Amino acid sequence: MAYTVHQAKTHFSRLLKEAEAGQEVVVMRGKKPVAKIVPIQEPVVSKPETPFRLIGAYRGKLNWDDDAFGPMTDQDLIDSGFGYMVDVPLVPPPAK
């Protein structure tokens, strides 16, 4: 459909509805077409592939020493960036 500038300004909401319905709307200045309102095509968003996740997939591939979960020495704390914990007073054992 073709509309004059005045008609387009007056009925802009209706023109947008026509464009949403798939029609091309042409706006004319006098008898000369100057603009076209067309529906925007939604971009096709492909669903990203789900990464491989399987319980036990890394079984046997990860190794650690028995002392990995043991307490750290003062030097280990300092080397790991936790030196502020070295000077913290220890909690005394509970009184009997």
| pLDDT at position 34 | 94
| pLDDT at position 3 | 92
Q: Which residues of the chain have pLDDT under 50?
A: none
- In the numeric block, which tokens belong to residue 21? 């319905």
Note the pTM of the prediction, 2 decimals.
0.43
- Cα dihedral 29, 32, 34, 40 sign: positive
| pLDDT at position 73 | 85
Distances (CA, A) of 22 to 1, 29, 33, 57, 94: 11, 23, 19, 50, 79
| pLDDT at position 51 | 73
| pLDDT at position 42 | 76
What b/e sequence results for 54-70 when a residue is b if at least 16 CB atoms lie within 10 Å of its CB, and e otherwise? eeeeeeeeeeeeeeeee
What are the structural domain ranges in the chain?
A: 2-37
